[in-house]
């Protein structure tokens, strides 16, 4: 009789003290840390033991600043390589996509990067090495456009129509501004079939592009999609540009590689992931690590620019070569140093980020 009553007492004590898992089965208690700011990171100084995760607590204990106030980092306009002529940055009034009035940075750029060379894009002969050409993005991979790549295109795309070189191995390449205008066009004529398309910096010296980004990013609960390329007149909301590098070159929407290839043209990107369009000038389709990258003191990936919502964009990998594992659908996440920010996609994916977590300038 004594033994039985002791067991009953032990069972009821469990229910009173632990408030969880009062089944006959033993539970394994683990330590949970308070997460007031709901960033998924817990406060190492406030914890409790429990079998199941208590509301407001997480298993992580790395939040040194669990204040309930999320870190918001203003755009640092001094990071832009403004020179007063090719690139200017000015604070102006603006209206954001959530309807709020705000301050924005107006970035006026000639799309002429001051931190690296542009090109080359098309090799001249199928015997040329990789230094003579740029890169191509296909199926999530990045390929050097060297002479051998051009020579191999019929095999690579399993289509015998591809033969972008003559009997001497010389590669058919656009030679003039007119060629570039005609060939860099969705309705490219058959006369440019089997051409390597490159528009040179000397063709676009009059370009001036203006972009607005919020000076203080405003995170929204629902991310904004980017505008899609569609038929003329189709309603589009949201910007199509993803962001801007510190040199004023835009991180553009994915290159329409299917349309380019469908016309039997190849419009390579240079090693920095950019090429020139006669209307928009030089723009990026991939972050290959060549434009200005601002190192972080804590091993976090370096910063490469700002998204159109004013949240910063960082390289994909930290200094140990790891990609963050907690990125959201936009490729963003939060930490107390940088606030909400993005990590750019792998260059081979012809992509930077997937959506905007914050409000953009109308």
Which chain residues interact with Zn ion by CB under 5 A? Answer: 255
Query: In whole angstroms, how close is the CB of 235 to Zn ion at the nearest point?
Result: 23
Bridge partner residues of 161 (DSSP): none
Please report the DSSP string for 272-341 in residue order: TSEEEETTTEEEESS--S-S--B--TTSPPPEEEEETTS-EEE-SS-TTS---S---TTSEEEETTTEEE
Q: What is the β-pairing status of strands 30-34 and 57-58?
A: antiparallel
| CB within 8 Å of 260: residues ≥ 6 apart | 197, 266, 267
Radius of gyration of the chain measured on its C-alpha atoms: 27
Query: In whole angstroms, how close is the CB of 343 to Zn ion at the nearest point?
Result: 6
Ramachandran region of residue 84, left (φ > 0), alpha (ψ -120 to 50) or beta?
Answer: left
Nearer to Zn ion, 97 or 291 (CB): 291
| Cα–Cα dist 189/183, whole Å | 7
Written as six digits, the tokens of 89 are 């940055």
Query: In whole angstroms, how close is the CB of 89 to Zn ion at the nearest point?
Result: 24
Please report the DSSP string for 214-245 in residue order: ESS--EEEEEEPPPPP-STT----S-S--EEE
| Cα–Cα dist 320/280, whole Å | 36
| Cα–Cα dist 21/237, whole Å | 50
Phi/psi of residue 149, each to 5°? -60, -45
Closest CA to 135 of 125, 150, 124: 150
Q: What is the β-pairing status of strands 219-224 and 281-284?
A: unpaired
Q: What is the β-pairing status of strands 57-58 and 265-266?
A: unpaired
C-beta of residue 79 within 8 angstroms of C-beta of residue 246: yes
């Amino acid at each position: 009789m004594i033994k039985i009553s002791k067991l009953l007492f032990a069972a009821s004590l469990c229910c009173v003290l632990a408030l969880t898992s009062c089944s006959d089965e033993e539970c394994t208690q683990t330590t949970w840390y308070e997460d007031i700011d709901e960033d998924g990171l817990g406060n190492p100084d406030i914890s409790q033991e429990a079998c199941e995760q208590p509301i407001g607590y997480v298993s992580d204990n790395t939040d040194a600043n669990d204040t309930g106030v999320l870190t918001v980092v203003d755009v640092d306009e001094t990071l832009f390589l403004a020179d007063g002529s090719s690139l200017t940055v000015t604070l102006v009034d603006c209206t954001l996509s959530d309807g709020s009035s705000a301050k924005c940075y107006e970035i006026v750029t000639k799309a002429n990067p001051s931190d690296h060379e542009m090109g080359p894009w098309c090799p001249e002969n199928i015997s040329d090495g990789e230094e003579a050409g740029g890169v191509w993005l296909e199926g999530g991979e990045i390929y050097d456009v060297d002479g051998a790549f051009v020579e191999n295109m019929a095999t690579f795309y399993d289509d015998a129509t591809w033969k972008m070189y003559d009997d001497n191995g010389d590669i058919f390449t656009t030679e003039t501004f007119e060629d570039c205008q005609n060939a860099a066009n969705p309705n490219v004529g058959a006369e440019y079939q089997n051409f390597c398309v490159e528009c040179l910096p000397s063709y676009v010296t009059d370009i001036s592009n203006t972009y607005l980004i919020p000076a203080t990013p405003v995170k929204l609960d629902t991310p904004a999609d980017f505008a899609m390329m569609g038929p003329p007149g189709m309603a589009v909301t949201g910007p199509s540009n993803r962001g801007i590098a510190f040199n004023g070159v835009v991180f553009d929407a994915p290159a329409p590689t299917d349309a380019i290839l469908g016309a039997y043209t190849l419009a390579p990107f240079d090693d920095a992931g950019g090429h020139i369009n006669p209307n928009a000038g030089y723009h990026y389709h991939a972050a290959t690590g060549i434009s200005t990258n601002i190192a972080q003191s804590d091993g976090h990936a370096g910063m490469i620019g700002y998204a159109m919502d004013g949240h910063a964009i960082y390289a994909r990998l930290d200094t140990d070569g790891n990609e963050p594992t907690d990125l959201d659908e936009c490729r963003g996440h939060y930490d107390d140093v940088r606030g909400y920010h993005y990590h750019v996609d792998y260059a081979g994916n012809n992509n930077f980020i997937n959506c905007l977590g914050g409000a953009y300038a109308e």
